[in-house]
């Protein structure tokens, strides 16, 4: 076996093979998949790169593996689909082919099991830095995908979970404050985000969401995407936003909960709109995850924040943009 084959072997050994509708899986030139009757494929691809998205020295390999797959799978959740297969392309420095790769795969395999994903192929190559590219395929009943483009004036906007938690964790990690045991727990969302699969599928099954997106870049940026795609605006109430809880001892460190919630990225929560008629019947929790109404959709194509003081201000996109490099 040559070195590349050995590495491929090291990868696929970690993932139990399940036929699961797969006609041809790993080992041939390409995979052959068979969709179930009356369903559509929902396909997404996501790059997770050393130095841009994670740091080899700070982020444990097992965390890199599970987070890479969680990020990619969040896009499947944001369409309302069920995860089925994934493809893993890896570029690795020689130094990362041993223990690092094992730990990385352990984290990814655990996440794959939790999300119901079967590894169906990929590519393995050597590179000077760690490059991870994931393609995830989901399945959904024909025509049920929830797009960014369906929000209508008068709809109400909901968000799952809490916003700003991942950003708080990352800021603490950058300042090395997470090494203090009492704040270690605040890193959970940054290290181990969970795609909101059950909520996404619930919304698709009930056909009650008019639009949806996952919050990867921050509320201000991601809500902007829904508004642009739908040709509408929004009025957000600051006091309704379920913002991260910042411990009092950390408040003075330029860690304002509202700012973190408005512009912090990587929470991977779901942001979705619901018609007014349905909004009253929205449960407060779906699959154990709280959902909170935070805004209404407006005709005027602007996103406005109603502050805690009652004043209106434009809410401009201030989230994560790799080409602006705000992080
Ligand atoms: P080719 O040279 O035709 O691209 P490879 O030797 O790269 O074939 O791959 C052989 C098989 O191993 C293929 O089925 C491919 O999908 C699979 N494979 C390679 N790398 C990975 C990986 N990182 N994860 C999953 N499957 C992989
Ligand atoms: Mg190949």
Instruction: Render pLDDT for 59-105 as a digit per residue (tens, 0 to 9).
Output: 999 999 999 999 999 999 999 999 999 999 999 999 999 999 999 99
User: CA-to-CA distance for 215 and 148, rounded, in angstroms?
Assistant: 12
Of all protein residues, whose CA lies closest to atom 3 belonging to ligand 1? 29
Show the tokens assigned to 189. Answer: 């969302």
Secondary structure percentages of the chain, helix, strand, coil, to 5: 35, 30, 35
- Atom of ligand 1 minimally distant from the CA of 25: 14
Show the tokens assigned to 145. Answer: 């995908």
Instruction: For residue 278, report the distance from its CA to the centre of ligand 1, in Å.
Output: 47
- Atom of ligand 1 minimally distant from the CA of 124: 20
**Within 13 Å, how many C-alpha atoms sit on residue 211's CB side?**
25
Ligand in nearest proximity to the CA of 32: 1
* Tens digit of each residue's pLDDT (9 = 90 or more) over 271-292: 999 999 999 999 999 999 999 9
Instruction: For residue 29, report the distance from its CA to the centre of ligand 2, in Å.
Output: 8
Protein residues near ligand 2, an ion, with CB under 5 A = 123
Rg of the chain (C-alpha set):
20
User: CA-to-CA distance for 304 and 166, rounded, in angstroms?
Assistant: 24
Ligand 1 pocket residue status of 9, Cβ below 6 Å: no
* Tens digit of each residue's pLDDT (9 = 90 or more) over 223-251: 999 999 999 999 999 999 999 999 998 88
Ligand 1 pocket residue status of 7, Cβ below 6 Å: no
Ligand in nearest proximity to the CA of 24: 1
Give the DSSP letter of residue 159.
E
User: CA-to-CA distance for 79 and 42, rounded, in angstroms?
Assistant: 8
**What is the model's pLDDT at position 327?**
47
User: CA-to-CA distance for 255 and 320, rounded, in angstroms?
Assistant: 17
3-state secondary structure 185-239: HHHHHHHCCCCCHHHHHHHHHHCCEEEEEECCCCHHHHHHHHHHHHCCEEEEEHH
Ligand 1 pocket residue status of 98, Cβ below 6 Å: no
For residue 179, name the pLDDT band (cuts at 50, 70, 90): confident
Of all protein residues, whose CA lies closest to atom 2 belonging to ligand 1? 29
Buried b (16+ CB within 10 A) or exposed e, 45-75: ebebebeebbebeebebbbbbbbbbbbbbbb
* Tens digit of each residue's pLDDT (9 = 90 or more) over 312-326: 999 999 877 777 654
Average pLDDT of span 296-301: 98
Instruction: For residue 187, report the distance from its CA to the centre of ligand 1, in Å.
Output: 34
User: CA-to-CA distance for 150 and 16, rounded, in angstroms?
Assistant: 39
Buried b (16+ CB within 10 A) or exposed e, 100-124: bbbbbbebbbebbebbebbbbbbeb
- Asked if residues 79 and 42 have their Cβ atoms less than 8 Å apart, the reply is yes
Ligand in nearest proximity to the CA of 7: 1
**What is the model's pLDDT at position 225?**
97
Map residue 251 onto helix, strand or coil. coil
Buried b (16+ CB within 10 A) or exposed e, 218-247: bbbbbbbbbbeebebbbbbbbeebbbbebe
Ligand 1 pocket residue status of 265, Cβ below 6 Å: no
For residue 19, name the pLDDT band (cuts at 50, 70, 90): confident
């Amino acid at each position: 076996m040559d070195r590349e084959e050995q590495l491929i072997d090291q990868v696929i050994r970690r993932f139990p093979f399940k036929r699961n509708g797969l006609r041809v899986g790993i080992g041939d030139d390409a995979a052959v998949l068979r969709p179930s009757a009356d369903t559509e494929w929902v396909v997404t691809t996501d790059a997770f790169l050393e130095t841009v998205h994670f740091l080899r020295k700070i982020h444990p390999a097992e965390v890199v593996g599970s987070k890479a797959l969680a990020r990619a799978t969040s896009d499947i959740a944001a369409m309302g689909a069920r995860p089925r297969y994934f493809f893993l392309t890896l570029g690795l420095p020689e130094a990362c082919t041993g223990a690092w790769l094992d730990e990385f795969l352990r984290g990814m395999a655990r996440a794959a099991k939790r999300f119901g994903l079967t590894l169906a192929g990929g590519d393995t190559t050597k590179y000077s830095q760690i490059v991870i590219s994931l393609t995830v395929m989901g399945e959904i009943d024909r025509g049920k995908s929830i797009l960014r483009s369906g929000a209508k004036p008068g709809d109400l906007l909901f968000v799952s979970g809490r916003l700003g938690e991942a950003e708080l964790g990352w800021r603490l990690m950058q300042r090395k404050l997470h090494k203090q045991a009492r704040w270690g727990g605040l890193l959970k969302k940054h290290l181990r985000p969970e795609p909101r699969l059950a909520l996404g599928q619930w919304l698709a099954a009930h056909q009650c969401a008019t639009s949806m997106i996952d919050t990867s870049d921050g509320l201000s940026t991601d809500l902007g995407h829904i508004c642009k795609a739908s040709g509408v605006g929004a009025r957000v109430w600051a006091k309704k936003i379920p913002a991260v809880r910042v411990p009092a001892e950390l408040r003075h460190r330029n860690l304002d909960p509202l700012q973190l919630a408005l512009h912090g990225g990587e929470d991977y929560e779901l942001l979705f709109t619901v018609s007014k008629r349905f909004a009253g019947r929205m449960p407060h929790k779906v699959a154990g995850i709280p959902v909170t109404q935070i805004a209404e959709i407006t005709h005027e194509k602007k996103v406005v924040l109603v502050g805690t003081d009652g004043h209106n201000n434009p809410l401009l996109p201030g989230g994560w943009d790799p080409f602006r490099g705000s992080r």
